[in-house]
Structure 1
């Protein structure tokens, strides 16, 4: 399995700092912010698993993210960075690739493979020209 679901239940959390740190973490360059019940989020996780990309998932409707202040900070920061209030949101090497529809389109047109390759991330996608 190439998915890591991170557990932040026991750590004090500033939502804004958390988002910035996770996006910039060189140890986990592929990060998906998700909701456990969301069909588009599940589809994004399946897509990443299908192409063999190791990724870290943060379910924003579980654990410490249920605290109202943290939830607001996290969602506000993601919206500031992405220009969108929707989930999922995928980041590769600090670069936002958007939600599921955007990522699926990027996979079809070769952009996803190029971004992953640029960041040295292995995948089963064919290398684009």
Structure 2
């Protein structure tokens, strides 16, 4: 997943994955190490081209683009994330993902 350290939507996706026991690797585009030579900015620009949207976070599973936070939560809700993870031989605690939108910031309208 490509995230920002101080983004509530990035935190929400990380919390969902952690709660469900889904292993992940986060590339923090705004981390101090990514500031050198504008690496984080360049990666973000390239990611925007690849994903077709400029928003962060952007989630990839097994190299396949899932989308941002909303698309990731929808994928858990509609079962397509379970299929993607199973295809990679990964299992997770589905009881923790029954309400994926519950991981979004409290100030958002309920879905």
TM category, shorter: 0.7 to 0.9
Partner of 2:66: 97
Flag structure 2 segments of 5+ consecutive residues without an equivalent.
96-111
Structure number having the greater helix percentage? 2
What is the alpha-carbon distance in structure 2 between the residues aligned to residue 73 and residue 111 of structure 1?
31
| 4+ long deviations beyond 3 Å | none
**Structure 1 counterpart of 2:16:** 47
Correspondence list, 1:1-129, <5 A: 32-125=1-94
Distance in 2 between the 1:124 and 1:98 partners? Answer: 21
CA shift at 1:68, angstroms?
4.9
TM-score (norm 2): 0.78
Q: Which runs of 5+ in 1 are unaligned?
A: 1-31
Please give the alpha-carbon distance, in whole angstroms, between the structure 2 residues aligned to 1:111 and 1:33.
Answer: 20
Question: Which one has the bigger strand percentage?
Answer: 1
Alpha-carbon RMSD across the aligned residues, in angstroms, is 1.4
Q: How many residues align?
A: 95
Q: How far has the Cα of 1:57 moved from its partner?
A: 1.1
